[in-house]
Amino acid sequence: MGSVLNTVYNNYLTAYTPKALTRYDTHKRSELRSVYNSIVKLNKDAPWYLPTTSKDTQHYAVDLKENARDLHNTIAQLGGFNENVVFNKKNAFSSDPDILTATYIGSQDSDEEIPKLELEISSLATPQENLGTFLPDTKVTLPADSYSFDLEVNDMNYEFQFAIGESETNRQVQERLVRLINNSGIGIKADLAESEGRSALRLTSESTGLSNGRTRQFTISDEKTSKSVGTVDYFGLDRIELAPSNANFTVNGQERSASSNHFTIGQMFEVQLHSTTEEDQPVSIGLKTDVESLTDNITHLIGSYNNFLNVASSYLETQAKSRQLVNELKGIAGVYNTSLTSMGITQNDDGILQINTDQLRQTALQSQDLTETFGSLKNLSGMLLRKSDQVALNPMDYVRKTVVAYKNPGHNYVSPYTTSAYSGMMFNSYC
């Protein structure tokens, strides 16, 4: 069971965790109950079947579910839960995206004028970096023994234990410590620095800056550890090469600082700093015009649809039923082909939607009623929302299965612990 969980975890870690979570990834108890009841209803009348559980099928099912979730969230962010406001989402602009990017996080319903802000960035927030002693790739001079050291980060103390063998080299022990620290997931990244045939342990905090009166992001010591001491001094683990520092900037001339390069301003903008500015050359942020925001929102929707379609299409040669989903997605977009073409959105033979941005913007500028002009897009987003919910709820609909037995009509016995065959793609037994 442990190996299965590790496989699932590693798959999610490498493929899905980099994606940003949204407020639509959290749910009320009533929403979770509704999802559960929907799963039970789906499986109550479904026949018993034997799915193909190859690794490709597992990845395929997970891909469908995760990308369906992404499409659902995209539509939700654009106001898709309310047909009256879809595509009316306000968007922020940055006059120099290479220096900073901005996202509007204020109220979408407010008619209050949002001021334009000017930011000058003098320094970025930096992490703490410890650089150890550069050692040759020769035998460790420490005695063979069990060693440990304590690493304190975010007010939490972690003890790392390891052994040094009789014939081990400095590099072998350093590489083991790199793996040990990186696999711990405590917010410290370890790697080896090279110089003239020698190597040193480099430890870098994932967090930046300083807050709450701190002077360091992390500290390392073996003074009070449970095993033999000496490795901190020998490898130079506690030597700070670069001290952490805060980002320093001004907003409309007022000096500000932040422990991170990612922060909010006045509950209006979420800002990500990428570089510093030249003297007296501030970067402006504010709200885009309605037409620019509309164009961005439509582009975002079409991009999410294309991504979902591409994922399904990538399994056409290995998953027979993926063609069914591809055809369904193509068919949904095809319903509105004429109206989409008139606003600059065309569908290729493979189902991918292409946007003529200039034509789309011109359509918006000439429109007397944006709601009426882009009504077909609202209908399209509604159909895609329902399809994404269906796929996310039961991706096994698009996996080839061998029917074992049909259930006795009117005599369905549903176990809450076996609500979906999809869970069998994740675990080989129930716990």
**Using one digit for the tens of pLDDT, what is the confidence trace for 375-410?**
888 888 889 989 998 898 888 888 887 766 666 665
Find the domain containing 168 and state its range.
127-242
Higher-confidence residue: 54 or 12?
54
pLDDT above 90 for 198: yes
Same domain, 235 and 131: yes
Mean local confidence (pLDDT), 176-195: 94
In a domain, 154, yes or no: yes
Residue 55: the pLDDT is 81
- Give CA–CA dist 97/118, Å, rounded: 13
* Inside any domain, residue 165: yes
- In terms of domains, do 101 and 198 share one? no
Domain end, chosen from 259, 287, 315, is at 287
Q: What is the pLDDT of residues 110-154, one digit of tens each?
A: 667 788 999 999 999 999 999 999 999 999 999 999 999 999 998
The reported pLDDT for the residue numbered 146 is: 95
**Mean of the per-residue pLDDT values for the chain?**
84
27 touches 389 (CB < 8 A): no
Mean pLDDT for the stretch of residues 27-33 = 72
Query: Where among 234, 263, 287 does a domain terminate?
Result: 287
DSSP letter, residue 59: H
The number of folded domains in the chain is 3
Q: Is residue 46 part of a domain?
A: yes
Asked whether residue 431 is domain-assigned, the answer is no
Instruction: For residue 208, give the CATH number of its domain.
Output: 2.60.40
Q: Are residues 44 and 153 in the same domain?
A: no
Considering the domain architecture, whether residues 252 and 117 belong to the same structural domain is answered as yes
pLDDT of amino acid 13 = 46
Q: Which residue has the higher pLDDT, 290 or 223?
A: 223
> Predicted confidence band at 282 (pLDDT cuts at 50, 70, 90)?
very high
- Which residues, in sequence order, are CB contacts of 147 under 8 Å at separation 6+? 161, 162, 163, 164, 222, 227, 228, 229, 230, 231
Among candidate residues 242, 258, 276, the one where a domain is terminated: 242
One domain for residues 193 and 207: yes
Residues 139 and 115 in one domain: no
Q: For residue 4, what pLDDT is reported?
A: 42
Shared domain check, 406 and 364: yes
Asked whether residue 12 is assigned to any structural domain, the reply reads yes
Name the more confident of 14 and 388.
388
Written as six digits, the tokens of 263 are 């922060």
**Same-domain pairing of 111 and 257:** yes
- Percent of the chain exceeding pLDDT 70 equals 81
255 and 120 inside one domain: yes
